[in-house]
Amino acid sequence: MSNFITLPFFSSNSLYKVSSNKILNDQEIRRIDFSKQIYELKRHGYINTFVKAKEKYIEITPKGKTKISKYCISPIEHPKHWDKKWRVAFFDIPEEHKTERDIFRKRILKLGFVQIQKSVYVHPFECAFQIKTLSQILNVADYVKIMISEIIQGEEDLIAVFVDKNILSKSDLNV
């Protein structure tokens, strides 16, 4: 079991309060580890806790919002024309970092990546900064690599997926 907690508002800047029971139910974390981390975040002034309708809630403070703004991952920019190169992010994050690995997977999918194997994801546009930043935030940078490839076997299917997701346009496919 991991002792790392990720509060929902640390991965999304649209949610600023959440039930502590929801966090405990959504993540594999021991209650004692959770309590220690909540205590530390509260001690530093990043969160407040309150009770509403017999349920404990955690709310991010303005100081917390400022702190996490450094950790927001910028969207991947879409240039006018695709350079016909694939950005391949791959990783081998150990089991003891399971929570971080799961968060990493979810976040790169939100960035628009497509999974081509268990720990191999691809995107058509430059994204090294986003991958580096995300892996550093989660302390898994040693386990994450990115490469650029001009050819991927079966890329016609990948192109179709990226067109369906409106990441690539038909004009990107013209020579």
pLDDT score recorded for residue 9:
47
Mean pLDDT of all residues in 137-141: 89
64-108: pLDDT as tens digits:
877 776 667 888 998 988 999 999 999 999 999 988 899 899 999
Neighbour-count burial of 165, counting CB atoms closer than 10 A to its CB (0-12 exposed, 13-18 middle, 19+ buried): exposed
pLDDT score recorded for residue 14:
41
Q: Which of 9-23, 45-59, 92-106 has the highest mean pLDDT?
A: 92-106
Cα 136 to Cα 130: distance, rounded to the nearest angstrom: 10
- Percent of the chain clearing pLDDT 70 (strictly above): 81
Domains and CATH numbers, the chain: 8-69 (1.10.10.10), 86-173 (3.30.70.240)
0.75 cut: is pTM over it? no
pLDDT grade, residue 2 (50/70/90)?
Answer: very low
149-172: pLDDT as tens digits:
999 999 999 999 999 999 998 888
In degrees rounded to 5, what are phi and psi of residue 114? -120, 135
Cα 15 to Cα 168: distance, rounded to the nearest angstrom: 29
DSSP class per residue in 83-112: -S-EEEEEE---GGGHHHHHHHHHHHHHTT
Mean pLDDT of all residues in 8-32: 59
Cα 27 to Cα 102: distance, rounded to the nearest angstrom: 10
